[in-house]
Amino acid sequence: MTQTRTLPSGLSCTLDDSADVARNPLAGVAIAIDGVYASGKGTLAITLARLYRMKYLDTGTLYRAVAWKVMDGGHTPSDRTAAAEAARGLNFDFRHVGNNKFAVMVDGKDVTEAIRTPEVAQQSSVVAAQTEVRAALLDFQKSYAAKWQPLVGVVMDGRDVGARIIPEAQVKLFLTGDVEIRARRRWLDYVALGKEKPLEAVVQELLARDLRDEVNTIQTPDALVVNTSRLDALEVLAAAEELIQAKLGGVPRAAVGG
């Protein structure tokens, strides 16, 4: 059974009868976080999910998982047939491993670290640009949101979440940032992994990725924009929370979990 919940701002949402608003203050609420690559979407989304005890889905992880599966099978992500088959047969799960952390599982294998390499990140945008792959993963994402939003609330990040996956989301954020600054963030990732690559090469990679992603990176008219170029992670969080609080009419801070 479900009921209608009216938020302080006057916005309404559907709430499952078993939802606990005291524990999950944004139960019934969906937050869509879209934006360009390396703008801080994932860090913001998972932090908000922890603060408000919402269910989280990094939609980009799905595309990384498909890219990894294709590559693990000895194919190239540009092979549209192999990529589509991998997406349609994707056995994907977020498995809780304690301390509010989740492992990414594909076919029962923990690929949390494997899908975070720069190589997989680059190839994920190749599969994400393929219509067959996006269609295969769309139903999974919609079902995920429909299941968890009425119970605990859901926050999802990607490129077209607010436009195609949860267009009814009460809060839509769009993160952007200067190319050079975003490229430097990815360059530092390479450095941390012990990989030597000129910063200018990373800039060119990012420009190419932005071009591939452009058609599926959608800023809806009702999205609230955050430029993260000059902000660190805590400042991005503060800016986003201010927008969320204003949009929803305020959420009691005492109800927010850790």
Tens-digit pLDDT profile for residues 139-162? 889 999 999 999 999 999 999 999
Q: How many Å apart are CA 223 and CA 34, to the nearest integer?
A: 9
Beta 171-176 vs 154-158: how paired, if at all? Answer: unpaired
Superfamily of domain 26-244: P-loop containing nucleotide triphosphate hydrolases (3.40.50.300)
**pTM beyond 0.95, yes or no:** no
Q: Output DSSP code: residue 223.
A: P
pLDDT in tens, 176-232: 999 999 999 989 988 988 888 899 999 999 999 999 999 999 999 999 999 999 999
Q: Output DSSP code: residue 162.
A: I
**Count of all residues that appear for the chain in the document:** 258
Question: Among residues 234, 172, 249, which one has the least CA distance to residue 47?
Answer: 234
Banded pLDDT at 255 (limits 50, 70, 90): very low
